Amino acid sequence: MSKLYFLIIFSLFLNLIIPKVFAEKKEQKIKHNSTTILNWESDALNLKNELHWKTVDEDEFYIDLLKNKTITRKNNIFSVRSTGKGVTVNGYYYPDISNYVPNAYVEDPNKFFGLTTRGISKTRFCNGNNFSKACIDGVLDLDFKLFNNNDLSFYPKIHIQSLTNRGTNYGDGISMGGKIAKELSTTWSIAFGGENIFHFDESIDLGHNFYIMASTYIPMNSNEKSSILFINAGLGSDFYGYKGNGFLFRTPCGNNTLTGTQKEPNSCSWGPIGSVALSFNDRISVISEWFGYSYGAGFSIRPFKENSLSIAFFATDFIDGFPTYADDYCTTGQCKARFYGTISLNF
């Protein structure tokens, strides 16, 4: 636990000190507008020229007005920013748009810390029932602001894998990752980073989960709190490139990997990952995701109007025989539906 306390204190130090280093110095130049220093000169009004009036056809006059009138339309362009696995849209908190799958949006500059806890009803390898004491487990994530401006952000993340005493002591399995995100346009963003990249003990079994992601959105209407379709797609390693999903290529990843081979124990495989979420408004989303190890379908809600708190609930392994490689790792020889969910809060 001493490692955990050190990492939390270290993250507080970074959050308070580092942003000041990157802060832009903005100097406001005030121009003097006093009328006493203006150069004045007289300009006599010329009244010699007479005004010339002519009759204009009324219909023709209004037709010309209509031709020259500029009609402005409210376009479907929004400012979308990340809050971990959730987003803000034009400053309004929205629910989560994925769970395991990261999004590529630049983090909201008003976010300094994010806390997320994820619980799972049963691991694939556990020979027991959903929500039984022997099979339930959870993780805790803390990400914090290191650098953030209008179109680029870097948020490191601390992971604590064990929230129970199932196989490992409470607080074991500490690792660190991070996410660098860049906005390419008003509708497209990219990000790269990873989960559990630096392992601080040997009890971690979540691998080295690097990723490269792209995210976009499609508004369903122009309301202030619009219904929006969010799409995340990319490539990931280890947990994301697990077994049958990791068919694209292999790279070095570090020791203690999930997908290392006998010949290359410190390598990991890569595969496609992605998610699609429809936020009906700023309070509820339905989500489907493929994260390599398996898939998930569920929903996320934001119960309080002015609060970032989001609650998400998902089911996985509920399609018999899919993915095909999953049954090899389920204790009964056939995977049954399992459940996972998160509670997240941002400050």
What tens digit of pLDDT does each residue of 212-241 get? 999 999 999 999 999 999 999 999 999 999
ω before 323 within 30° of 0 (cis)? yes
DSSP string, 125-161: T--S-TT-TTT-EEEEEEEE-SEE-SSEEEEEEEEE-
Cβ-contact 315, 297 below 8 angstroms: yes
List the structure tokens of 130.
Answer: 């959903």
Separation between Cα atoms, residue 155 and residue 182, nearest integer Å: 12
Q: Please state the rounded mean pLDDT for residues 11-33.
A: 45
Separation between Cα atoms, residue 181 and residue 185, nearest integer Å: 12
Q: Please state the rounded mean pLDDT for residues 94-115.
A: 97
Answer whether 0.85 is exceeded by the pTM. no
| 236: DSSP letter | E
Separation between Cα atoms, residue 62 and residue 282, nearest integer Å: 43
Cβ-contact 238, 208 below 8 angstroms: yes
Q: Please state the rounded mean pLDDT for residues 102-127.
A: 94
List the structure tokens of 90.
Answer: 């034009």
Q: Please state the rounded mean pLDDT for residues 67-83.
A: 69
